[in-house]
Amino acid sequence: MFTDLPKYVFFTGKGGVGKTSLACATAVSLVEQGSRVLLVSTDPASNIGQVFETTLGNEVRAIKTVPGLDAIEVDPEAAAQAYRDRILTPLAATASEDEIRSATEQLSGACTTEIAAFDEFTSLLTDPDLVDQYDHVIFDTAPTGHTIRLLKLPGAWSGFLSTGKGDASCLGPLAGLDKQKARYAEAVERLSDGEETRLILVARPRTSALKEVARTSEELAAIGLRNQQLAINGVMPAMEMEGNDALAQALYDKDQAALAEMPKVIRQLPREDFPLRPENLVGLDALKRFARNEPAPTGQASDSPADVDYPDLSTLVDDVEPRDKGLLMFMGKGGVGKTTMAAAFAAELARWGRKVLLTTTDPAAHLSETLGDALANLTVSRIDPAVEIERYKDEVMQRKGKHLDAEGLAMLEEDLRSPCTEEIAVFQAFSRVIRESSKHFVVMDTAPTGHTLLLLDTTGSYHQDMLRHSGNDKSVRMVTPMMRLQDPDATQVMIVTLAETTPILEAEKLQQDLRRAGIEPWAWIINASLAAADTQHPLLAQRARAEHPQIDKVASGLAARYAVVPMQAEDPTGADRLLSLVNVQG
What is the pLDDT of the chain when averaged over all its residues?
82
Q: Give the model's pLDDT for residue 355.
A: 95
12, 20, 461, 529: the active-site residue: 20
The share of the chain scoring above pLDDT 70, in percent, equals: 81
Residue type, 474: K
- Say yes or no to pLDDT of 172 above 60: no
Cα 21 to Cα 19: distance, rounded to the nearest angstrom: 6
13, 16, 109, 234: the active-site residue: 16
Pairing of strands 69-73, 61-62: antiparallel
- Say yes or no to pLDDT of 255 above 70: yes
Overall size of the chain counted in residues: 586
Cα 215 to Cα 231: distance, rounded to the nearest angstrom: 15
pLDDT tens digits for 416-458? 776 667 777 888 888 888 889 999 999 998 776 766 676 566 5
**CB burial of residue 51 (10 Å; 0-12, 13-18, 19+):** buried
403-419 core/surface letters (b: 16 or more CB in 10 A; e: else): ebeeebbebbbbbbbbb
Q: Which residues contact 387 (CB under 8 A, 6 or more apart)?
A: none
Largest Cα span, the chain = 77
Q: Give the model's pLDDT for residue 177.
A: 57
- 119 is known as an active-site residue: no
43, 140, 303, 457: the active-site residue: 43
- Say yes or no to pLDDT of 12 above 80: yes
**How many CB atoms are closer than 10 A to CB 198?**
20
491, 502, 529, 535: the active-site residue: 502
In contact, 360 and 446? CB cutoff 8 Å: yes
User: Which of 273-277, 461-465, 519-523, 571-575 is predicted least confidently?
Assistant: 461-465
- 21 is known as an active-site residue: yes
Cα 341 to Cα 233: distance, rounded to the nearest angstrom: 25
14, 15, 21, 338: the active-site residue: 21
Model confidence, pTM? 0.81
Q: Which residues contact 435 (CB under 8 A, 6 or more apart)?
A: none
Q: Give the model's pLDDT for residue 154.
A: 43
- 368 is known as an active-site residue: no
Residue type, 174: L
The share of the chain scoring above pLDDT 90, in percent, equals: 37
Cα 243 to Cα 39: distance, rounded to the nearest angstrom: 41
pLDDT band for 233, please (50, 70, 90 cuts).
very high
In contact, 52 and 66? CB cutoff 8 Å: yes
Most confident of 270-274, 339-343, 373-377, 455-459: 270-274
- 299 is known as an active-site residue: no
* 3-state SS class at 9: strand
User: 229: number of CA atoms within 13 Å, CB side?
Assistant: 21
15, 18, 172, 335: the active-site residue: 18
* 3-state SS class at 375: coil
Q: Give the model's pLDDT for residue 156.
A: 44
**Residue 561, CA distances (Å) to 392, 492, 521 in order:** 36, 12, 9
pLDDT band for 37, please (50, 70, 90 cuts).
very high
Tell me the domains of the chain and their CATH numbers.
Answer: 8-295 (3.40.50.300), 313-582 (3.40.50.300)
* 3-state SS class at 389: helix
Q: Give the model's pLDDT for residue 503.
A: 87
Cα 224 to Cα 49: distance, rounded to the nearest angstrom: 33
In contact, 318 and 311? CB cutoff 8 Å: no
- 16 is known as an active-site residue: yes
Q: Give the model's pLDDT for residue 298.
A: 66
Q: Which residues contact 289 (CB under 8 A, 6 or more apart)?
A: 279, 295, 296
Residue type, 219: E
Q: Which residues contact 246 (CB under 8 A, 6 or more apart)?
A: 569
Q: Give the model's pLDDT for residue 301.
A: 41
pLDDT tens digits for 531-571? 999 888 889 998 999 899 999 999 999 999 999 999 998 88
Most confident of 67-76, 77-86, 290-299, 488-497: 488-497
- Say yes or no to pLDDT of 160 above 50: no
Q: Give the model's pLDDT for residue 251.
A: 93
12, 13, 14, 19: the active-site residue: 19
Q: Per-residue DSSP letters for 66-103?
A: STTEEEEE--HHHHHHHHHHHHHHHHTTTS-HHHHHHH
Most confident of 179-183, 372-376, 394-398: 394-398
Q: Per-residue DSSP letters for 27-65?
A: HHHHHHTT--EEEEE--TT--HHHHTTS--BSB-EE-TT
**How many CB atoms are closer than 10 A to CB 318?**
12
Q: Give the model's pLDDT for residue 228.
A: 96
| 306: DSSP letter | P
- 509 is known as an active-site residue: no
- 19 is known as an active-site residue: yes
In contact, 333 and 14? CB cutoff 8 Å: yes
